[in-house]
A and B are shown apart, each in its own frame.
Chain A
Amino acid sequence: MSIRKVIERLLFLVVVIWTASTITFFIPRISKRNPIRERFGQLARTGGFSPDELEIIIESYSQKFGLDKPLWEQYADYIGGIARLDLGVSLYQYPKTVLELIQEAIPWTLGLLVVSTILSFIIGNSLGAVAAWPRAPRWLRSIATPFILFMGVPPVLLAVFLLFFVAFRLKALPLGGAYSIGVIPDQSLEFYLDVLRHQLLPALALIFGTVGGWVLSMRGMGVTIQGEDYVLFAEHKGLSGFTIFRDYYLRNALLPQVTGFALALGNMVTSGIVIEQLFGLPGIGTVLYNAIKANDYLVIYGVVLFITIAIATLMVMVELLYPLIDPRIRE
């Protein structure tokens, strides 16, 4: 991969981020709603300050957030802010910044979604590869079938089932939360195990809901690859079945799957947001959910922007790393 290509891809990433930022900037402004007025309007109704006082408060806050400036200046501030990783402040948890909210939530989300996506990728592709390999034992090949059946079921629905049967009925695992009530987070093994117990059900829901897709696509790919001339020639060379499976069959069948990985993580976010909410996990999904409920615009758009950037970055990374596994792409 040439330096030129790397720079090209990085520029592309900047354009994606800029486009996403511009969209998240303009959408709330087009809607003509004034979040500050709404917020203090609510407070005025319950908290009882006079309309005059309300106007003063709104004005001073508008000034504070720069909403009194002309649009282009606001836009410049906003884009400048993003360049400095400043996504603004939460209107509801002021003075907490959006970035702070995201930072607090991100370990939970990363832990759940990334680990689930990776596990799903590994399990699904292994099962799919074996299912298509004619020399694998029959029982091993058939393990894949039930996973394909799960494919039609949305992870969220699986989560509800798991919650009901495993957590509610059997009481085998906790019903929700990031860790047990009363536990104080520290670096102890006990704490981590407790967290793991709480992550198990949501992770299972996400994995089971997505593994079938990998199985199916990998099995299809495997059927194609095993008929390739280079696999047959490898047999003519007298290589062991395992070597052929690993170096000739799996390596080639995996190539398109790797491209799908970034995309899968994007899809995982969609399910993950609802599942975090369902299990009461303090991740990005929950931050987003609360922000939507409270009309906390800056947080909503900050989170959306963050997710967009994260996935775009991941895709560019996969694209930049892809030549490492496929020499034909190198120059």
Chain B
Amino acid sequence: MEPVLRINNLQVTYYTDAGRARALDGVSLTLNAGEKLGLVGESGSGKSTMALAMMHMIKPPGRIEEGQVIVGDTDLTTLTKEEMLKARLEKITYIPQGAMNSLNPVMRIGAQMVDAIKAHYKSPSKAEMAEMSMDSLESVDLDRSVFKMYPHELSGGMKQRVCIAIGILLKPQVIIADEPTSALDVVTQRQVMETIDRVQETLGAAIILIGHDMGLMAQFVDKVAVMYTGRLMELSTVREMFTNPQHPYAQALISSLPSLDNKGVFQGIPGLAPALLRLPSGCAFHPRCQHTTEICTTMLPRLEQMEGGRMVACHLYTEQV
């Protein structure tokens, strides 16, 4: 199958007063149509930066240094500004983290959908645009009457659904959902996730689901990517990740998940995530890793393919050979 999304060596740097912070360092991955990838990692590990870079929305002082984001057969990084505006929503879409405030409080929901359609298609009729919008609302289990409502008339879950409806309005091939449920209660979280799951399947789009909630993630995604200091540490299927993680950081993440067996014991990962401006040499995880060897402090481990197709960036697996 031809992959619908290919990210090659994507690099983003924030030029801050204190120095250059490489928030995204050579990330590569591919996704097939219909595939669901979960992206996890501590706060500040670069998940949102990656999403923004894919949307071409990194703002100064940040800059995309190099790399490609290829959707279908279009390399987004080579598009002009106008072409990129068109690509958003049509090829690649972003469902925002803060759905509570992602809708303009003084515009009706309908108007916020119609202006998006107008920005992409040449003069569709009013009726057509309304029809399109209401269909999209219906597909995320909202009533068609939401079209005429204002954001403050909706609950949090409904607002998140509206954001999804806007995101899939133009049937994109790639959907990025950045912690789409973080502000919702557990029951609503589930329902919204099910909706995302369903619309994504209907569209046959690839989805990148960013989040902290490993439990929720485990139920919805096919693959999990673990990120640390702007680099991918491990990329494997959900089953492999949860039953047999390879990378020491991924292992630590998984074993810190609460379960009935380790009830009452609060298992974290010792140490703190390093600041991007003062990254440890070699493998950035080495100060917190239990398997550190000499080479770990000097050489950066590359993301290598292991048998079964999973990818791991750790000297434990590359240097043995």
Contact = CB atoms under 8 A, between A and B. Distances in A.
The winner among A240, A248, A325, A327 for most chain B CB atoms within 10 A is A327
Interface residues of B, number: 32
B258 interface: no
A325 B150 CA distance: 13
A196 to B, nearest CB: 37
Interface in B22-71: 55, 57, 59
A111 to B, nearest CB: 32
Given A243-B115, A327-B150, A328-B150, A236 B104 contact: no
Contact of B105 (A232, A236, A243, A252): A252
A251 interface: yes
A99 interface: no
B119 A240 contact: yes
A326 B89 contact: no
Interface residues of A, number: 23
Q: What DSSP secondary structure best describes chain A's contact surface?
A: helix
B86 A230 contact: no
Given A247-B107, A327-B152, A237 B116 contact: yes
Contacts of B102: 229-230, 232-233
Count chain A CB atoms within 10 A of each CB in B115, B120, B150 and give the residue with the most: B115
Nearest to A234: B104
B106 interface: yes
Interface stretch (B91-99, B122-130, B259-267): B91-99
B295 interface: no
Contact of A238 (B86, B100, B105): B86
Given A232-B96, A237-B89, A237-B166, A252 B116 contact: no
Contacts of A325: 106
A232 B284 CA distance: 32
A228 B89 contact: no
A239 interface: yes
B119 A251 contact: no
Interface string B155-171: 00000000100100000
Given A228-B101, A229-B98, A236 B106 contact: no
Query: Which 4 A-B pairs have CB atoms at the shortest separation, nearest pair first?
Result: A238-B88, A229-B101, A233-B102, A237-B116
Interface of A: 134, 228-230, 232-240, 243, 247-248, 251-252, 255, 325-328
11 contacts: A134-B59, A228-B101, A229-B96, A236-B57, A237-B116, A238-B85, A238-B119, A243-B115, A252-B106, A327-B105, A327-B150
